[in-house]
Amino acid sequence: MDAVRLLVAAEDFDPGQEIERLSSGEGQSGAVATFLGLVRGAADGVSAMTLEHYPGMTEKRIAAIVEEARSRWALERVTVIHRVGRLLPGERIVFVGVAGRHRAESLAACEFLIDWLKTRAPFWKMEETAQGERWVEAREEDDKRADRWNRTPL
Amino acid sequence: MKIVYFAALRREIGVGEEDVSPPPDISTVAQLLDWLKGRSPAHAKALSARRLMAAINQDYAGLGAAVSADDEVAFFPPVTGG
């Protein structure tokens, strides 16, 4: 089984199956950590969200971010799935999962991956609201979170 | 040279990509950006955004990076995935 699984697609995915895949090693991994991102809806007045991306560059950037994670932590497996297109509140957007030897490195690598994915992979979110469409603005908070992992340019 | 725009920039300019032939003295991302602003009022407005990111052949590039005729140069707002 491949150590790295990357997917950018409109289709939904099954988080259970992804966790199963991450945990079915030969026993070297002791910890699987995952992050699952969903479309936030009603409370923010968002009726739908469309994710646009830069085909080609997206896959390249995600692969580079995953390689960066693998150079920092000993990871047996990494899975990154990011959906694109129009999604409704409650739908899954993104899945990050890592299998490592111990929990500390798995948890850290998982957080690193989603932090850098958010600030370095070329995706853009457009929200549909009762007032019309609006592009989601990049948040300084996300940049700060990503920068905690240092300022290595990607 | 192939120019591609994404997200709000694509909407404001009205096209996702265009083939352009800048004059030979356009050699950096910053110069290209200024030259592109002259294409239409929509270009001028969209490309004057305070925070803009650029990529050359699908790698992030700074304003001083060199561009050449067979490059694919992308302009887009700060990314918001995840």
Domain encompassing residue B48: 2-76
In this complex, which of B60, B74, B77 lies closest to A124 when CB atoms are compared? B77
Question: B55 lies in a domain?
Answer: yes
Whether B77 and A125 lie within 8 Å, measured CB to CB = no
Return the CATH fold of A4-147: Aldehyde Oxidoreductase; domain 3 (3.90.1170)
Q: What is the pLDDT along chain A (154 residues), one digit of tens a residue?
A: 679 999 999 999 999 999 999 998 777 899 999 999 999 877 778 999 999 999 999 999 999 999 999 999 999 999 999 999 999 999 999 999 999 999 999 999 999 999 999 999 999 999 999 999 999 998 889 989 998 887 555 4
- CB contacts of A125 in chain B (<8 Å) are 80-81
- CB contacts of A52 in chain B (<8 Å) are 6-7, 10
Q: Say if strands B17-19 and A75-83 run parallel, antiparallel, or are unpaired.
A: unpaired
Torsion of CA A150, A110, A72, A143, to 10 degrees: -10
Question: B24 lies in a domain?
Answer: yes
Residue closest to A11 by CA, chosen among A96, A123, A86? A86
Distance CA A150, CA A45 (A): 35
The ipTM of this complex is: 0.94
Specify the DSSP class assigned to residue B28. Answer: B
Model pTM above 0.90: yes
**Number of separate domains in chain B:** 1
- The CATH number of the domain where B53 resides is what? 3.10.20.30
Q: Say if strands A75-83 and A4-9 run parallel, antiparallel, or are unpaired.
A: parallel
pLDDT, one tens digit per residue, over B27-41 is 999 999 999 999 999
Cβ contact A116:A58 at 8 Å: no
Question: B82 lies in a domain?
Answer: no
Q: Does A119 touch chain B (CB under 8 A)?
A: yes
